[in-house]
Chain A
Amino acid sequence: MQGHTPTPVFSVRDKRNLLFIILGLVPAAALAFWLHILPVFQGLYLSLFRWSGLSPKRKFVGLANFRALANDSLVWKALGHDVYMVVFRLTAVIVLALLFAGILHFSSRRKQKIVQGLFFFPNVLSVAVVGIIFTFIYNPSIGALNAILTNLGLENLTQAWLGNPKTAFPAVLFPTVWGAVGYQMLLLFAGMSSIPKAYTEVALLEGATRIQEFFQVTLPLLRNVVKTCVSLVVINTLNRTFIFIRVMTKGGPNDATEVLGNYMFYQGFENFKFGYATSIAVINFTLALVLTFVVTRLLKKENLEYA
């Protein structure tokens, strides 16, 4: 920082401070750089090569990987699935989270505590655990879902949920919503709680109903929080949701659940085309940037401030 000299307490004129800065900062910075930041640049760089990862030789091919991607019909299919996945999760997660946060807003403290705890719990379970539980639930012979449908007299709806290309994708996406709503609900609820009471009370005094007040006063004031939630969901969907697919269907049946993340994994770690795999990841990253931009843009309009 320029402009003012540090107080003697924190000045590097004291050689002990200099040593402390180096010893305190370097290990964390070096580790984060080595295994967290550097890999991003390496990924971008590798996407320009053809390389099996096993042989010492790698061949610079420029943008050839990306040209090959454009001709790979599975990439286009996966891209479409990714967009579908983002729209599906965004709608389901945000609508449910807003609904629950809105209801909590009108509930007693006790109820708020219980619901927050219960609804958030799935978020702390491992993707692997949630994926396995739902794989069992969808299982055609012992699965809980078919058993419930049979008990309800809806036997004609029972099926191999993950084996049928028509149902596999929604079936994989449901647990990703199940495990994510709680967190977004907490964020939205915290946002609602920080809106000064005066605003909502004025609306109610003016004769607005609770519902009107919610949609016309609370929700607009919540825009920035909603924007944060929406960006988080988009980014997480494209970076992490494919792990559910890895656990539950591996992209099948008949590529019905193939997404870019899973396809990257397949090309990299089963097909050992490391250059091609990273170029798929670059497309995935680009898609995340574009979709985040589009979605936050849609929510932009004018910013309302109450501070």
Chain B
Amino acid sequence: MPKQKYTFASILRDSILILWGLIILLPLCWVLIGSFKNNVQLYENPWGLPTEYHFENFARAWSEAQIGLFFVNSIVVTAFSVTIGVFLSVLAAYVVNRFPYRIVKFAFWAFTASMMLPLVLTLVPKFLIIRDAGLLDSRMGLVLVYVAGAIPFGVFTMESFFASLPKSFEESAFIDGAGPFTTFLRIITPLTAPGVTVITIFQFLGSWNEFYHAMVLVSSPAKFTIPLGMVRLIEVQQYSIEWGPIFAGMVIVIIPILAFFALTQKRLVGGLTAGGLKG
């Protein structure tokens, strides 16, 4: 695009973008500012910069409001779900892409079709399945549900990745006498980094942010993940709320996502548009 002068149209276009940019940023900035205030400052001047900084809000959010505990739970649940989910997706995607048998192709079709399943309809049954397996109120139950939910998209994405990977790698390994296990681990796995990065990002965001299933599957505060813990915290404190630490808690929750976003933004945007346009 050639360099443009400022015209009425270009100013209008920029103003629209700036306006929406502010609509996105202002709520986040407001929470950040609020995280340094105490109740008096928040009630008297919701928008003003803090007149005195209450850094202890962060410490109180971390320990008293137990956000530290929720953080650890989120890390554990996410680490397990992402590791297992990515591993199973990559393996299954490799099988469905490489082995030309009818039952294998059917499995791929089933994975793909199940990406569009109606979530609301599955909530009660999932609760019953997890309950009957004796996994209610456990981090393990959450991990299983998250992995199961992530597999279809993971297989779908990785399958298209393997489709672009020439079979000559396996053919030469086969001639050297290597079996599928050796070939997969030694030759294929090291080549999957680009695809694995994309599904790892998605599965990370999916597990880290998940609230919907956690809400029905976990009931004791000791096992709350961050989203669930934050919502319950607000419910409990509804009438005698100490806002400062809650705002600080929100900041603690948003910062890792912001850092993660900054690091992965390029791949995230690429992965989203590639997957979305196919579907």
Q: Which of A85-130 contact B (CB under 8 A)?
A: 96, 99-100, 103, 106-108, 111, 115-122, 124-129
* B-binding segment of A164-172, A263-271, A296-304: A263-271
Closest residue of A by beta carbon distance from B111: A32
* Chain A, interface SS category: helix
Cβ–Cβ < 8 Å partners of B129 in chain A: 34-35, 38-39, 42
A-chain residues with CB within 8 Å of residue B165 when the two chains form the complex: none
Given A25-B107, A129-B253, A144-B47, are A137 and B30 also a contact pair (CB < 8 Å)? yes
What 1/0 mask marks residues of chain A from 197 to 239 whose CB sits below 8 Å from any chain B CB? Answer: 0000000000000100000000000000100100010010011
A75 adjacent to chain B (CB < 8 Å): no
Residues of A in contact (CB 8 Å), total 104
Interface residues of B in 187-212 (CB under 8 A from A): 205, 208-212
Q: In the docked arrangement, what's the CA distance between A117 and B21, Å?
A: 10
Q: Which A positions have Cβ atoms within 8 angstroms of B?
A: 1-2, 4, 6-10, 12, 14, 16-17, 20-21, 23-25, 27-29, 31-32, 34-40, 42-44, 46, 53, 96, 99-100, 103, 106-108, 111, 115-122, 124-129, 131-137, 141-144, 146-148, 151, 178, 181, 183, 186-187, 190-191, 210, 225, 228, 232, 235, 238-240, 242-243, 246-247, 260-261, 264-265, 268-269, 274, 277-278, 281-282, 284-285, 288
A28–B124 CB distance below 8 A:
no
A37 to B31 CA separation, bound complex (whole angstroms): 40
Selected contact of B123 from candidates A2, A17, A103, A264, CB within 8 Å: A264
| B24 pairs with A178, CB closer than 8 A | yes
Chain B CB count within 10 A is highest, among A10, A135, A264, for A10
- Any chain A CB within 8 A of the CB of B6? no
CA distance A111 to B92 in the complex (A): 40
From residue A53, how far is it (CB to closest CB) to chain B in Å? 7
- Interface contact B13-A107, CB-CB below 8 Å: yes
| Minimum C-beta distance from B84 to chain A (A) | 9
The 5 lowest CB-CB distance pairs between A and B, nearest first, are: A128-B227, A126-B209, A35-B148, A39-B125, A28-B92
B20, CB-defined interface residue at 8 Å: yes
A136 — which chain B residues lie within 8 A by C-beta? 31, 34, 243, 247
Asked whether A285 lies within 8 Å of B120 as measured between CB atoms, the reply is yes
Minimal beta-carbon separation of B187 from chain A (angstroms):
12
A268/B209 contact (C-beta < 8 A), A25-B104, A31-B148 known: no
Asked if A239 and B119 make an inter-chain contact with CB atoms under 8 angstroms apart, the answer reads: yes
Q: How far apart sit A127 and B214, CA to CA, in the bound complex (Å)?
A: 12
How many angstroms between the C-alpha atoms of A265 and B216 in the bound complex? 9
A121 vs B110: C-alpha distance when bound (angstroms): 32
Complex-state Cα separation, A28 to B269, whole angstroms: 27
Point out the residues of chain A lying under 8 angstroms from B170, CB to CB. Answer: 9-10
B8 on interface, CB distance cutoff 8 Å: no
- Report Cα–Cα, A238/B96, bound state, in Å: 32
In the complex, residue of chain B having the shortest beta-carbon distance to the beta carbon of A289? B118
A30 to chain B, nearest CB (A): 9
Query: Among the listed stretches B52-60, B61-69, B174-182, which one makes contact with chain A, having 4 or more residues with CB under 8 Å of it?
Result: B174-182
B98 touches A10 (CB 8 A): yes
Asked if B243 and A142 make an inter-chain contact with CB atoms under 8 angstroms apart, the answer reads yes
Shortest Cβ distance from B122 into chain A, in angstroms?
Answer: 4
B260 contacts across to A, CB distance below 8 A: 124
